[in-house]
Structure 1
Amino acid sequence: MRNIGILGSTGSIGTQALDVIRNNSNLFNVVALSGNNNIKLLEKQALEFKPDIVAVFDRANANILRDKLKPFNIKVFSGLDGLIEMAKYESIELLLTSVVGMIGLKPTLAAIESGKDIALANKETLVTAGSIVMNKAKEHNVSVIPVDSEHSAIFQSITSKESKEISKIILTASGGPFRNKEKSDLLNISSREALKHPNWSMGRKISIDSSTLMNKGLEVIEAKWLFDINLNDIEVIVHPQSIIHSMVEYIDGSIIAQLGVSDMRIPIQYALSYPKRISNNIKKLNLIEVSNLTFEKPDLTTFPCLKLAYRASEEEGTIPSVLNAANEVLVDMFLKDKIGFYDIPNTIETVLDKHKNICDPTLDEILYSDNWARNKAIELLKF
């Protein structure tokens, strides 16, 4: 049995991962879980899976949970230090990092430094500190296995160990809920409309990122570090059916693609079981029913966040961290209906323009730039 830790077990990816584990209890054993605000769900998960430890970022919630789990001999850690301690827990063999945002960076690095393989669903970790994280993984001989459907597809489609044989990576995007809309159509849309993704059931933040195409931009940056590939060799195309999850083109013109239904449990399961494949009861893809697969160029005028992400990836340094931090703040404001849809890319661009980039940054410089960007975004919007 493989001992699994889940950083962010109450979120969308975490709950689906536990569903995979629940259906394969002979293969996986949960030894550590973490959460933040959804204490009732975290308690329910802890009582079902009986991990050795649980970590809760919010200290008040941790105290509540500590009292409830004390009779079951489950240790409860709290705060960022608690998440880091959980990530380093010696019994963990594979840590699934599925928290949203920068909060996942330090625990992920701690897990890598303690020799844990990583199933990565926290894209901000590589977006902000890709060079540091991947170098640490090499140094400690740790595998970083992608969980995002697109990166999992690329991971599965890379059939050669020779990087020079790869011509380019093709990341597919559904286009989100506003595909084929023009800029004028989106000036007054609400967060409720933006949350209605046509194909995937996701968390609130990632759903908004999908509607702006920032999610795809972050995936571009992540792919660059995961697969050690030049930015110019990463292409984004819109594929509304979300059947082809991504592709790899080789120098001989061959394109290898991974196809499947839109169910995140498939890439989650592959990351947990890698290098083996295991069966499941998930609906299988029927190509006759699908019938048509179509492709389009992304509209960078209507969705400028994708262009901003390419810019950040090209400039490197602390710029990707600034992009990510500003976006996190702005998406939260949009979800609270405090700003409009285009306040997100417009403010991000201004924050990028005002930032003095630090090349080859340390972890502290990345974290400083993250904090600077958050404050600058709020300052620009006069909140």
Structure 2
Amino acid sequence: MSNPFSNHFFSYPRKEVHMRKKISLLGATGSIGRQTIDIIHSNPEKFELESFSAGMNINKVREIASVHQPRVVSVMRREDAQSLKTEFPSIQFVHGDEGLLEVAAHTNSDVLVNAVIGSVGLTPTMEAIRVGKTIAIANKETLVAAGDIVMAEARKHNVPILPVDSEHSALFQALNGENVKRVNRLILTASGGSFRELTREDLTRVTVEQALAHPNWSMGNKLTIDSATMMNKGLEVIEAHHLFDMPYDKIDVLLHKESIIHSMVEFEDTSVMAQLGSPDMRVPIQYALTYPDRIQMQNAKPLRLEEIGQLHFEKMDFVRFKALALAYSAGKEGGTMPTAMNAANEIAVGLFLKGTIPFIRIEEMIERIMDAHQTIAHPDLQTILETDSLTRKMVYAMVELII
């Protein structure tokens, strides 16, 4: 078992960068994107926003462009890009899939923060790796859909893949400088999401509004639903497998409702290293941007354990949280199976958010897709993309038959 960037000890190479790190950001108007912007804005001597992408929240695009004056901005629609160009003539505006690639591979930036939702982040990340950018990855789906390919490309170009998710950042910090051959297991903690107290019978009656009411974290809609199904944790298990080159039988999940311990590493001598902190996504985002250094976090609430008093832990119930079991199964099978599982989940979550299917059917549709999928063991990138596209069509066809 070896880390892709060192022989025995877990660390990433220190790369020479500009006096201020120049940041390219995919998904600037989403939850992680907005918090990344906040960190850049709070530390102008450390960071500069070089380029960013957004969808159709054009008012937010105007706000970010006006304050930060990046060189390149990508939006979803051509007409929005043309309109914005008249307002900001000094900025290059691009659009669509090609626009994402332009932002990701922009030559003047040092770091790409991938904060988009879904597998749309895969191809831009590959482009950024090929031009030698450090990748700060908050987009789980990129590694879930094509982790073997992404990590191989990163090794080829000697590019660090720095985790932004709180759980993977915690593991990264706990492993830093450690001999990975002495790891007994990685322990990902899970809050349990919006429905952690409900039975499976209860889940048949839950609403979209209830599902979006996460008890601890402020996240985007898709991520919040994934947390409620526990698929989010399943995606994190697969991501941890790729990030830390760890077999699945050494990756555990522990229910921890307070979200104070973000994850842990247990070593062969029974020592357990944990990273703790208040539930604030800006902390792992900032660490990915400042690594290997740390800087003061602006307007942050320090962790006061005496105020919390107690922390609670429970063994994970794989029957209750079936989506987590499906993710383990997909990860262990490998090949194109995680790609199919991820694509099915993305479409099923979208259908639930629109009110087309009930909550409990999300995992049912994922399981049907996995049962029908013929796994390709060693896919190339084109096969991954084709599997993703075909699976999405299959889910929509399945819905037509069910409804």
Same fold per superposition (TM over 0.5): yes
Can you list the C-alpha shifts for 1:218-258, whole angstroms capped at 9, x where unaligned? 00000000000001100001000000000011111000000
CA distance in 2, matches of 1:193, 1:102: 26
CA distance in 2, matches of 1:15, 1:345: 30
Can you list the C-alpha shifts for 1:35-86, whole angstroms capped at 9, x where unaligned? 011111011101100101111133332223222222xx00011111111122
SS in 2 for 1:176: coil
Q: Which residue of 1 aligns with 2:243?
A: 226
> Does the alignment pair 1:336 with 2:364?
no
Conserved in 2, the CA contact under 8 Å of 1:158 and 1:248?
Answer: yes
Conserved in 1, the CA contact under 8 Å of 2:336 and 2:387?
Answer: yes
2:40 corresponds to which of 8, 18, 21: 21
CA distance in 2, matches of 1:276, 1:303: 38
2:271 corresponds to which of 226, 248, 254: 254
After superposition, residues 364-383 of structure 1 pair within 5 angstroms as: 364-382=382-400
Can you list the C-alpha shifts for 1:235-290, whole angstroms capped at 9, x where unaligned? 00100000000001111100000000000000011011111000123010000011
CA distance in 2, matches of 1:110, 1:261: 34
Q: Which residue of 2 aligns with 1:163?
A: 180
After superposition, residues 122-161 of structure 1 pair within 5 angstroms as: 122-161=139-178
2:281 corresponds to which of 264, 274, 282: 264
Q: Which residue of 1 aligns with 2:28?
A: 9
How far apart are 1:372 and its partner, in Å? Answer: 1.3
CA distance in 2, matches of 1:192, 1:180: 16
- Residue type matched to 1:250 in 2? F
Can you list the C-alpha shifts for 1:283-331, whole angstroms capped at 9, x where unaligned? 1000001110110122222221000000000000101010010000000
Conserved in 1, the CA contact under 8 Å of 2:25 and 2:103?
Answer: no
Conserved in 2, the CA contact under 8 Å of 1:183 and 1:301?
Answer: no
> Does the alignment pair 1:209 with 2:218?
no
Q: Which residue of 1 aligns with 2:94?
A: 77
How far apart are 1:188 and its partner, in Å? Answer: 1.3
Q: Which residue of 1 aligns with 2:307?
A: 289
1:235 corresponds to which of 252, 265, 284: 252
Conserved in 1, the CA contact under 8 Å of 2:27 and 2:115?
Answer: yes
After superposition, residues 272-351 of structure 1 pair within 5 angstroms as: 272-280=289-297, 281-351=299-369
- Residue type matched to 2:309 in 1? S
CA distance in 2, matches of 1:59, 1:211: 35
Q: Which residue of 1 aligns with 2:51?
A: 32
Can you list the C-alpha shifts for 1:96-116, whole angstroms capped at 9, x where unaligned? 010000110000100000000
CA distance in 1, matches of 2:71, 2:103: 10
> Does the alignment pair 1:188 with 2:205?
yes
Conserved in 2, the CA contact under 8 Å of 1:175 and 1:298?
Answer: no
CA distance in 2, matches of 1:75, 1:360: 39
Q: TM-score, normalised by structure 1?
A: 0.98
> Does the alignment pair 1:112 with 2:129?
yes
SS in 2 for 1:338: coil
CA distance in 2, matches of 1:65, 1:36: 13
Conserved in 2, the CA contact under 8 Å of 1:17 and 1:268?
Answer: yes
- Residue type matched to 2:364 in 1? N
Conserved in 2, the CA contact under 8 Å of 1:36 and 1:61?
Answer: no
Can you list the C-alpha shifts for 1:202-229, whole angstroms capped at 9, x where unaligned? 0000000000000000000000000000
Q: Which runs of 4+ in 1 moved over 3 A?
A: none
Can you list the C-alpha shifts for 1:85-144, whole angstroms capped at 9, x where unaligned? 221111110110100001100001000000000000011110000011111111111111
Conserved in 2, the CA contact under 8 Å of 1:33 and 1:55?
Answer: yes
Q: Which residue of 2 aligns with 1:41?
A: 60
Equivalenced residue count is: 381
CA distance in 2, matches of 1:340, 1:64: 39
How far apart are 1:161 and its partner, in Å? Answer: 4.3
Q: Which residue of 1 aligns with 2:82?
A: 63
CA distance in 1, matches of 2:228, 2:77: 29
Q: Which residue of 2 aligns with 1:359?
A: 377
CA distance in 2, matches of 1:57, 1:158: 39
Can you list the C-alpha shifts for 1:159-195, whole angstroms capped at 9, x where unaligned? 4442211111000000111112111111011111000
SS in 1 for 2:73: strand
Structure 1: stretches of 5+ with no match in the other structure = none
CA distance in 2, matches of 1:62, 1:150: 36
Conserved in 2, the CA contact under 8 Å of 1:33 and 1:46?
Answer: no
RMSD of Structure 2 on Structure 1 (CA): 1.0
Moved more, 175-184 or 200-209: 175-184
- Residue type matched to 2:29 in 1? T
